[in-house]
Each structure stands twice: as structure tokens, then as C-alpha cells.
């Protein structure tokens, strides 16, 4: 067997998972839905000798709304998100992003926390989560800490998770169902990795705009946010704000598109997001 050198550990509870990570974390990878790790396994990219499978840790599969926060347990799948009234009402654009992830078969397996930990700059859930200023909860057998998402993700496939830690929760402040939008450009309508993506949110304390696949991590468009905070979103400010969003993007050229194309696509997607928010077309 191709993977016979890898040992699979299957904890049935969070405590057991943390104990396994305490003992084997340094030589272990974590698998949950497996939609990324199984592909790395197939491509022989997994050098570790242990895989800790958290798919049977049922206590981590929940969506809670409490104290103005929406909390997604680490085992929450994208299908769970799509079926959640709380996510739809409190973060419509995260729901829009969830709809863009893979296919039904993938959404039934893939988890939001897995998407976060895989830390791909093109991950569909990340632009809305950055705009929501989400944070992750990390647990180990020694304790718990909370890290802001934009500090947690360091670069492609790199996070601040220590070897003995497990991301147990992704959480974000509940926002109103209106005033947010996610748009993605793929090379085809379904089952496509983002060429670029944009999430825009008009929060109580100001605008927040985040872009995917334009740098090593998801990037916020600070100048555009400030411009919209100062001038408000109107038909007149739409174009200038979209240009500012594109200016904050530092894309590269790769198989999915050139840097120049990505810049222009970002401006168009930002325009669409802001247009839809201005004219109340969110969640359609």
C-alpha cells in the first residue's frame, strides 16, 4: 500500500485528539474533511508519519450564535454553513462564499476550519472571514488561545498553529444580513479555484473589503475602506472606490491568469460587490 508508512489515529473526542497531538504533533498532519490533505497524500507531499483524523470528534460540529458572535465548530462543513439560518442572516456573504466551494460532494466533506488551516490565498471562505475580522480558537492539552485570523495566517499553507494545537473554532461578530457581498471569478462557473475574489462589508464601524488570490495571504483594501468611510457609498463614489480596491492588490501571474488580468478583474468584482450593496442585491 502506498500509504502504509503512515499511521492513522482516530480520536473519538476532543480530549483524545489533543492527547494524540500532544504525543505525536511534531510528526503529525491533521485530517478532517480530507479535501486538501487527500490530494497532498496522492501527490506524495505528506512527509509526516502520523495522521490524526478529527472527523469523528462530533463535539466540534456546531454553529452557535451567542453574545453577538457566530461560532463555527472546527467540524462545521460548508454544507452545514449553507443550511444555517444564523450564517445566512448574520454573514450572508460567507454563505455566498460557501456556495462557491467545490461541489455538493466537496461541501459535504470540507470544513471552514480546514479551509482556514490550509491557508490558500485563493480559499473561498477567507475574504469574508477577513472582512468579518474573524478569529480562531486554538486548543492544546496545555491550554487555549485565540488568534485573529489575519495574524493566524502567515502565508500560503503557513499558520501560527503549533504542532500540539488544534483549531477548535472559527468565530466572528454577527453582522446585519444587508451590506455585504462576495464575488468570485473562476475559470468556469463551478468547481473552480478563484482567479480572484472580493468580499465587501459595510459594518457599523466602517467599510471592510478583502481580496483573495492577489497576494500570499488575503489582503484588505485599506485605502478603499477609508475612502468609503469618508465619502460614503454612492453612484458617484463607486468607480473611485473600485479603483482603490484594485490598487491594493499585488497579484502574480500564474496558470489561472496574468497579474494585469487579475488587477482588472479585481476592479470589476469590487465594482459589482459595491453596486450590489448600494442597490440592495445581496444574497441573490
Partner 1 sequence: MLRLLREDAGLTGAKPGCEAGECGACTVLLDGQPVTSCLVLAGQVDGSEVMTVEGLERHGKLKHLKHAFADEGAVQCGYCIPGFVVMSYAAIRDGKASDIDGLKKALEGNICRCGGYPKILAAVTASAESGKGGP
Give the footprint of partner 1 on this chain (CB under 8 A): 8, 10, 31, 33-35, 38-39, 42, 51, 53, 55-56, 79, 102-106, 108-109, 189-191
How far is residue 284's CA from residue 271's CA, in Å, rounded to a whole number? Answer: 16
How far is residue 208's CA from residue 225's CA, in Å, rounded to a whole number? Answer: 6
Q: With beta carbons less than 8 A apart as the criterion, state whether 75 and 61 touch.
A: yes
Q: CB count, 10 Å around CB of 202?
A: 22
Kindly tell me which of 49 and 191 has the beta carbon lying closer to partner 1.
Answer: 191
Q: CB count, 10 Å around CB of 228?
A: 25
How far is residue 71's CA from residue 64's CA, in Å, rounded to a whole number? Answer: 5
Kindly tell me which of 53 and 225 has the beta carbon lying closer to partner 1.
Answer: 53
* Min dist. Cβ of residue 4 to partner 1 (A): 12
The 3 state secondary structure assigned to 236-258 is CCHHHHHHHHHHHCCCCCECCEC
* Min dist. Cβ of residue 99 to partner 1 (A): 9
* Min dist. Cβ of residue 162 to partner 1 (A): 24
Kindly tell me which of 57 and 221 has the beta carbon lying closer to partner 1.
Answer: 57
- In the block, cell 485563493 appears at 122
Kindly tell me which of 103 and 235 has the beta carbon lying closer to partner 1.
Answer: 103
Tell me the three cell numbers of residue 273: 460587490
How far is residue 249's CA from residue 213's CA, in Å, rounded to a whole number? Answer: 9
* Min dist. Cβ of residue 188 to partner 1 (A): 10
* Min dist. Cβ of residue 158 to partner 1 (A): 22
Kindly tell me which of 47 and 235 has the beta carbon lying closer to partner 1.
Answer: 47
Amino acid at each position: 500500500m502506498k500509504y502504509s508508512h503512515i499511521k492513522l489515529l482516530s480520536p473519538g473526542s476532543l480530549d483524545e485528539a489533543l492527547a494524540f497531538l500532544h504525543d505525536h504533533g511534531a510528526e503529525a498532519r491533521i485530517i478532517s474533511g480530507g479535501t486538501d490533505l487527500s490530494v497532498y497524500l496522492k501527490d506524495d507531499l505528506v512527509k509526516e508519519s502520523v495522521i490524526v483524523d478529527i472527523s469523528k470528534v462530533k463535539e466540534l460540529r456546531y454553529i452557535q450564535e451567542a453574545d453577538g458572535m457566530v461560532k463555527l465548530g472546527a467540524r462545521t462543513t460548508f454544507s452545514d454553513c449553507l443550511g444555517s439560518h444564523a450564517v445566512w442572516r448574520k454573514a450572508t456573504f460567507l454563505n455566498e462564499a460557501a456556495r462557491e466551494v467545490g461541489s455538493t460532494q466537496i461541501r459535504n466533506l470540507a470544513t471552514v476550519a480546514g479551509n482556514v488551516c490550509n491557508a490558500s490565498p485563493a480559499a473561498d471562505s477567507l475574504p469574508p472571514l477577513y472582512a468579518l475580522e474573524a478569529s480562531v480558537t486554538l486548543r492544546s492539552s496545555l491550554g487555549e488561545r485565540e488568534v485573529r485570523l489575519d495574524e493566524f495566517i502567515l502565508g500560503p499553507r503557513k499558520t501560527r498553529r503549533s504542532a500540539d494545537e488544534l483549531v477548535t473554532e472559527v468565530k466572528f461578530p454577527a453582522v446585519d444580513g444587508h451590506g455585504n457581498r462576495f464575488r468570485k471569478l473562476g475559470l468556469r462557473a463551478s468547481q473552480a479555484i478563484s482567479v480572484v475574489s472580493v468580499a465587501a462589508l459595510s459594518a457599523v464601524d466602517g467599510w471592510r473589503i478583502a481580496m483573495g488570490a492577489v497576494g500570499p495571504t488575503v489582503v484588505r483594501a485599506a485605502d478603499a475602506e477609508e475612502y468609503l468611510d469618508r465619502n460614503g457609498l454612492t453612484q458617484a463614489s463607486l468607480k473611485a472606490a473600485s479603483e482603490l480596491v484594485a490598487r491594493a492588490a499585488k497579484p502574480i501571474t500564474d496558470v489561472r491568469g496574468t497579474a494585469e488580468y487579475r488587477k482588472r478583474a479585481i476592479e470589476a468584482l469590487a465594482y459589482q460587490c459595491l453596486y450590489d450593496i448600494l442597490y440592495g442585491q445581496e444574497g441573490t
